[in-house]
Structure 1
């Protein structure tokens, strides 16, 4: 009975983490570029009570007697399914149709990756710099910030499907400017470290970033101007998952209550 108390407690702890993950998904249902997270569980060690079991006649049974010691969270997996494409009136709103990520330069000088393409042009010392909503510079295919001279009117800049920045000539025909927005892929995106503001950091598990502009062995992503990628959270699915998590939490709580009542009855047998 004491074992059942600890086993049910592990279930309550695991379901609490599961509920926290579901709540975070629902909280970010309107966050641009947000990706759903899913809890994964694994069993704890099994305690062997009896290696050989026999019938009343002394005949051996083919199975042993083992009792599990509960469960725990083994991982929280990110589902990198593409979210809905939302139309935007901003000329610096970009969505990625594919497996790629935009790259931005953090305040610490490191490179981070994101699916949130809600960019703006901000004033820099030597021109207008393309940056995200937090002011971090967006990087091109060479890993450098995208900065345009003051002679360019940023409202007239267009971007092709492969990320090339174009500016109209004297005949109002868009001409490539020789700058391409960097798009990068990872062999294992689930290995990326999730940070705040929809940013991801590469790790040893994710592998090195693959530059789509220089690698022909990957499926190219397409950049859509005047669109933003919405969250891929499915509210109905998350509500169902929440109900299941609540029921599992209640069942583990009931197991603790039942074990406590049985212990109380055992103690009262002396009286």
Structure 2
């Protein structure tokens, strides 16, 4: 009975974690560039009551007899599938169609993001909402420039003194394992020992980087119908594990009452 109670406790902890992940997904359903999380379970250790035996001359083989001891968290994945694109008409709203991340930095720290909400500061530099420079270095737009545009290949262009001028090229960064990136908050990721090194390349180039869509933003890839379904499953799983604990407690109570 004690063993089954601890199995139930492990299930409670795991389903609580699953509900935490689901709650975070739902909270970020309208967060630009957000990538949903997914909780994966695996079984815990199994106690071997009797081992397997091989077939003999007069008797066939016997399978092992094992009792599982509960479950545990296998992984909490970040699903990097693309979200839908929302048109905004704002030139500095940038969406990535395909693979890749924007690089933003403040000189000391560099981060990667899919949320392409950018602005111009008073010096004409393209920055995110927290003042980090796009591409890590300041991309300066002259204050008297007009008709700012950003092409699918990341080429910044503007009209200066009546002349169309090409600015620098807003490169993208790919990772061999984007699921290995570490979330840093604020729609930002940082590379980790398992993400691989960033592969820099021009948007739409030969290395498979995505293209940039100016005037649009990538929405969250959270599917509310899927999250609500998973929430119901997690809730019922949580309830079932509480039933394991209460049932085991009732049986233990009966055993204690045998002495009377």
Same fold (TM over 0.5): yes
Correspondence for 2:113? 114
Correspondence for 2:208? 219
Q: SS where residue 264 of structure 1 aligns?
A: helix
- Once the two structures are TM-superposed, the CA of residue 52 in structure 1 deviates from its matched residue by 5.5
C-alpha distance in 2 between matches for 1:34 and 1:11: 28
Structure 2 gaps of 5+ residues are: 54-58
C-alpha distance in 2 between matches for 1:267 and 1:255: 18
Matched, 1:251 2:244: no
Matched, 1:145 2:134: no
Correspondence for 1:43? 43
- Indicate conservation of the 8 Å contact 2:154/2:203, yes or no: no
Q: TM-score, normalised by structure 1?
A: 0.89
Larger mean Cα displacement after TM superposition, 127-136 or 111-120: 127-136
Alignment of 1:2-41 (within 5 A): 2-41=2-41
- Once the two structures are TM-superposed, the CA of residue 61 in structure 1 deviates from its matched residue by 5.5
Q: TM-score, normalised by structure 2?
A: 0.92
Q: Matched residue pairs, number?
A: 256
- Once the two structures are TM-superposed, the CA of residue 62 in structure 1 deviates from its matched residue by 1.2
- Indicate conservation of the 8 Å contact 2:203/2:212, yes or no: no
Correspondence for 1:68? 68
Correspondence for 1:265? 254
Q: SS where residue 41 of structure 2 aligns?
A: strand
- Indicate conservation of the 8 Å contact 2:174/2:198, yes or no: yes
Deviation by residue 1:77-110 (Cα, 9 ceiling, x = unmatched): 111111110011322101000111000004x711
Structure 1 gaps of 5+ residues are: 54-58
